[in-house]
Amino acid sequence: MTLAIKYMFLLLTATLTSAWTAPEYDGFSLVWSEDFAGADDAILPNQKVWNIIDADLDVNAELEVSESRCWSSGRIESKYSFTPEAGKRTVVEAYIRFGNNSADTKQGIRHGVQWPGCGELDILEILNSQSIGRGTAHCDVPQKGRCNEPVGLNSSVVVMNQGWCVPRLIPTRPRMGRSVQPTHVITWHMNEKQFHRVTGDQIGDSGVWSTLAQTPMFFILNVAVSGTLPGNPNGKTKDGYGAMMEVGYVARGTEHLAPGGS
């Protein structure tokens, strides 16, 4: 299982010169964060923290190389990984903003390994600079199944272009173990407001649910150009800041659940 945030590889020089400190929230302990702090002339993120993948991203129907205008995509994957802990609520979030002219690019925060059987959680996915973002759970089999593939179980939220926002995912894993219970839940949030929810009861299979909420995860920051969802680049496709994803920080925290609580 992976956790991903889509990122514009071409803009690393511009976006890595500023850094923000991840906040700490009441009741939550900050476990890990990355603020991209580094030298002002840094071209790449810290390769001790991130794996860098440029252009060759033929995964999840996202072939991110376009011959016609030399477009390519890029992403970085955290070497840090974690598994949501039993008896705790895990919060993962980013401080992030998007370009205002990103026609034919696909941007967001996502969660995925092999698709969809190993589970994928799109925390925030934005297509072609639309003001609507989506949060989606993908799982089980490529057609229909418990996550209604290839569409997935999704909900939408308004996202203002160019403005900073805080998309967040909160998997809650009670102490009861792997059995599917109504208190096993994953929620999606935008700027503190919940906009999507998937429960263990809704999935109805403990093995499938474990791929979404009980297996190792890692962050991916990704901007995908071309592919099934955004379509092929054309004359309206912008480069530079128009197609950017700028990330202030990514972070993970945990909160202990009350005895018997969810």
Reference 237, options 99, 49, 34, 90; nearest CA is 99
Least confident of 19-33, 144-158, 189-203: 19-33
* Domain presence at residue 96: yes
Residue numbers of the domain that contains 208 = 4-256
Domain count along the chain: 1
70, amino acid identity: C
Measured between alpha carbons, how far is 179 from 156 in angstroms, rounded to an integer?
29
* Domain presence at residue 114: yes
Higher pLDDT, 164 or 55: 164
Per-residue model confidence (pLDDT) at position 117: 82
Strands 217-225 and 167-173: unpaired
Whether the pLDDT of residue 37 is over 50: the answer is yes
Q: Please give the mean pLDDT across all residues of the chain.
A: 76
* Domain presence at residue 262: no
Reported as a single tens digit per residue, the pLDDT across 237-246 is 666 666 677 8
* Domain presence at residue 235: yes
Cβ-proximal residues to 124 (8 Å cutoff; 6+ apart), any chain: 5, 96, 108, 109, 133, 134, 135, 157, 159, 167, 188, 190
Reported as a single tens digit per residue, the pLDDT across 212-229 is 988 888 888 877 765 555
* Domain presence at residue 261: no
pTM flag (> 0.85): no
Q: What is the CATH number of the domain that holds 238?
A: 2.60.120.200
* Domain presence at residue 229: yes
